[in-house]
Structure 1
C-alpha cells in the first residue's frame, strides 16, 4: 500500500506513514494518535533483526529460557497498566484483560521451560556411525497479532519464537497500537539489542513486512489477511503459520439438559462480546429440545443485556459488520427473540442477540460474524446437525453437547476442524496445540508443537574415516 494511502475504519482514521487515531469504544472519545512505521522503518527493523539473529541463535538454550522468564516477570509486574490500555483501546473489561495477561505470563513461563528441552531425534543406522537431527532457529520471525486477546495471543508466538533462537519483529494490531508498543517496552529489555522489536502500523506495514526478507511469517487474524500473507510467503520462501477466522458450530443433541446446553451456548457466543476466534458462531439444536433450549438461551442473553455485562465491540466498523449479518438474517426470515437492534448512545455497543429460524446460506450461519450473536437452526436428527456442522470453508474448532457415546465418536471422526470440544465450549489441558484447517489457517499454534514451527531440522550423519572404521570394527568383532 502506498504511504499516502488512507485506510478508514469507523472509529479509527489511519494514514499510512502518519499515525493511527484511537477512539474509546465506550464513549467515542478520541484517546490518542500513535505514529506508525513507514517503509524505511520496516526495512531498518529487518536489517537490525537480521544482524542480531546469529548471536541469539548461538546463545545457550538455558540462557534463552532465563531471558524469557525475566520477560514473564516484567510482564506480570506491568499487568495492571497493560490491562488498562487494553480496556481503553478495545473495550475489553479490565478484569478480563488482566486474565489474558496472566495467561500470557504463564505462556512465557511455559516456553521458558520447554525451549531448553526442545530436542531432535536419534536415528537407527550403523552401530559405528551416529545419526541424529538438530532443531535450528529459522532466523527472523515476523509476528502479526490481533486485538481481541492481544497480550495472550502475542506472547504465545513471541515466547515460542524467541526461546528457539529466532529474532522477532512484532506488529500488533492497529486497533490496539499503544498497548502493542507498551508490551514491547516491557518485554524487550529482557533480550539482547535487536532480538525483539515492535513496529506499529496498519495493513500497509503488515504487507511490507510480509514481502520483506524474513524467514517466518506468523499471523493470527482474519482469513482474508491470512490468505494474502500466505501468498507473500510463497513468493519469498518464508515459513507461514496462520490461525485465521472460524465459523465454529455447536451441535446440541436431544439427550442433554436444554438449560445447561443454553448456558454453554451463551458462554461460547457472548464471551468477550463474541470476539473470540473459537466463539460459537452457529448452533444446530435437535428438534426434541429446541423450544426449551431457545427459551433458556433467550433468557441468558436477556440477563447479559440487562446487567450490562456485554462489553462494546472494538469499534464501529466491527459493529456495522455484525449488524449487517443480523439484518440480512432478519430480512431472510430469521427472528430476533433477544437483541438484534442497534442501541442508542455513544460507543460501539451491540446487544447479546439470539436469532431463531435461521437457515443455511444466511451470513450468520455461513460467515464469521465475530460479535455477540447466537444464530439457531433446528434440525430433525443429530445426523442432520452434524452434516451441517461439517459444512463450510472454515476449519478452526467445533463443539458437541451429547451424552451419546456413539454420536460423540461419530462427530470426532467427521468434523473437519483442528479442535473438537465435547460437552464444554471452552477449556483444555495446559500445553495443548491446534492445527487449523481450510480457510482457518495452517500450522500448529501454541503448545510444544509451536516450537517445531519456529525451527527447521538438520539431519546429521557421522562416521569415522576408513582406517579408523576398520580398527573400530575389528575391536567390535573381538570375542
Structure 2
C-alpha cells in the first residue's frame, strides 16, 4: 500500500504497473486464475478481521459486513474460473488462411472504488481486470482506508510484484490517476459528478472509462398487490445498509387504491428495522438537508426525519408522504434510510413518472398483472428492471447503466469483455 501525498508520487506506481504488464499478460490464463483463487482463499480466512474493519469505518452491521466480504470472495472465485475460458472466435474467410478475433488485455487498469461496499465492489473490478491479464492500480475510498489497505495486502500477496498495487489518497489522487496518459482503463463506482469528471479526463487521454455512477431507483406499486408485502419490499429497498446502496429504492409511486394501507405498513416496517449508522456525520447532514427541504415544500414526515441527539452518525428510518417530482429528495440520489412516497391515480402514471428521470440504473415494479409487468420492463429506461423482488436476480447478470448512471458493463462475464480489447488477425500463407 502506498500513501500518495502528491500526484507526482504516482509516477513510480504507474511505472511499476506498466513494467509488470507484459509478463502478466503473457502468463497463461489458468495460472492467472490459480493466483486469483489463492487470493480469494486468503480473503476467506480473513472474513472476521475485514468485517470488523468494515463495521468500524463504514458503519455496516457486522452480519452484513461479513456477507459483503464473502460476496467479494465469491466474485473473485467466479472470475478465477471465467478468465481462462474467456475467448475470441474464428472467422470464415479464405479457406487457405486463418482469421481470428482475439481478446487482449488493455494494459493498466485504475480501479476507483466506493466506501458503501468497498470489498465486494473492489473484488469484482480487480478480479475481472486481473483474470484478463491487466495490471491494476486500486484506489479505495479515503473514507475506508484501513479496509482498502488490508484488502490490497491480502490480494497482492499471491501476485507478482507490480500486478496489483493499492494507493491511498483523496479525490485529487483519483483525478490524477484518471488523467494519466499511462492508464488504459479507468473503472469507477461512485458519484455521478466524479464519473463525469473521469469521462472528460479519459476523453483527453484515450483511456476507456467504465462507470457505474449514482442511481435514483423508482419503486412502482400496483393496485393489485398486498400492501403489507409491498411495504416490506419497500423497506428492504430503502433501509438496507441505511440506504447506502447504489440500487436502493430512492422514490416510491404507490397506487391510490393501496396507498393508505401501504403507508401505514411502511411506517411499521420502519420502526421494526435495525438501521446501521451512516458512514459519517458529513454524509448525514446531506441526507437530512434533503429531508428538511422536502418537508418545507409540503412533504409529510410519517416517521423519522429528525436528527438524533448524541454522538455518531445514526439517522432514523424516515417515511415521507406527499412527495412530488420537484423535491430534491425525488430528483436526486439521497443515499440514506429515506422512503419518499408519491400517491398516483393509476399504474400508467406511476410508470410514466418512474421513467421521467435523469438516472438509469435500476427500478422495481410490484404487480400481479402480467400485462403491467411486460409493459414495465419494456418501457423503463434503466439497466435493470426487477418485478416483484426489490433485490432479486440470478448471479452473473450484467446490465448497462444509462444516462447519469454511467456506461459499460460492471458485473458478470461481460465485464471481462470491458477489460479486454479485440484484435483481428488474418494469417495467410506466403506467396508462390
What TM-score comes out, normalization by structure 1 length?
0.89
TM-superposed deviation, 1:36: 4.2
Which runs of structure 2 are paired with 1:132-143 in the superposition (5 Å)? Answer: 132-143=100-111
**1:233 corresponds to:** 202
Q: Structure 1: which 5+ residue stretches go unaligned?
A: 1-33, 468-479
Counterparts of 2:158 and 2:420 in 1: how far apart (Å)?
A: 22
TM-superposed deviation, 1:156: 0.1
Counterparts of 1:216 and 1:430 in 2: how far apart (Å)?
A: 25
> Equivalent residue of 1:199, what SS?
strand
Deviations 1:256-311 (A, max 9, x none): 1100000000000000000000000000010000000000001000122xxxx111
Contact kept in structure 2, 1:262 and 1:294, CA below 8 Å: yes
Counterparts of 1:294 and 1:447 in 2: how far apart (Å)?
A: 36
Contact kept in structure 1, 2:96 and 2:428, CA below 8 Å: yes
TM-superposed deviation, 1:40: 3.1
Which runs of structure 2 are paired with 1:209-288 in the superposition (5 Å)? Answer: 209-212=177-180, 213-288=182-257
Q: Which segment drifts farther, 291-300 or 34-43? A: 34-43
TM-superposed deviation, 1:327: 0.5
Task: State the superposition RMSD in angstroms.
Answer: 1.0
Contact kept in structure 2, 1:91 and 1:313, CA below 8 Å: yes
- The one of 294, 300, 316 equivalent to 2:263 is 294
> Aligned pair 1:206/2:171, yes or no?
no
Deviations 1:75-130 (A, max 9, x none): 00111111111111111112111100101000000000000000001112222221
Structure with bigger gyration radius: 1
Counterparts of 1:66 and 1:164 in 2: how far apart (Å)?
A: 13
Q: Structure 2: which 5+ residue stretches go unaligned?
A: none
Which runs of structure 2 are paired with 1:168-183 in the superposition (5 Å)? Answer: 168-183=136-151
Contact kept in structure 2, 1:120 and 1:134, CA below 8 Å: yes
> Aligned pair 1:345/2:314, yes or no?
no
TM-superposed deviation, 1:214: 0.4
- The one of 442, 457, 470 equivalent to 2:422 is 457
What TM-score comes out, normalization by structure 2 length?
0.98
**1:69 corresponds to:** 37
Q: Which segment drifts farther, 120-129 or 170-179? A: 120-129
**2:54 corresponds to:** 86
**2:121 corresponds to:** 153
Deviations 1:325-379 (A, max 9, x none): 1011100111110101111110011000000011111011110000000000000
Counterparts of 2:5 and 2:91 in 1: how far apart (Å)?
A: 47
Which runs of structure 2 are paired with 1:316-331 in the superposition (5 Å)? Answer: 316-331=281-296
Counterparts of 1:112 and 1:137 in 2: how far apart (Å)?
A: 15
Counterparts of 1:311 and 1:35 in 2: how far apart (Å)?
A: 29
> Equivalent residue of 2:335, what SS?
coil
TM-superposed deviation, 1:41: 2.4
Deviations 1:58-80 (A, max 9, x none): 00000000000000001001111
Contact kept in structure 2, 1:37 and 1:199, CA below 8 Å: no
TM-superposed deviation, 1:43: 1.3
Q: Which segment drifts farther, 37-46 or 430-439? A: 37-46
> Equivalent residue of 1:314, what SS?
coil
**1:103 corresponds to:** 71
Counterparts of 2:264 and 2:87 in 1: how far apart (Å)?
A: 53
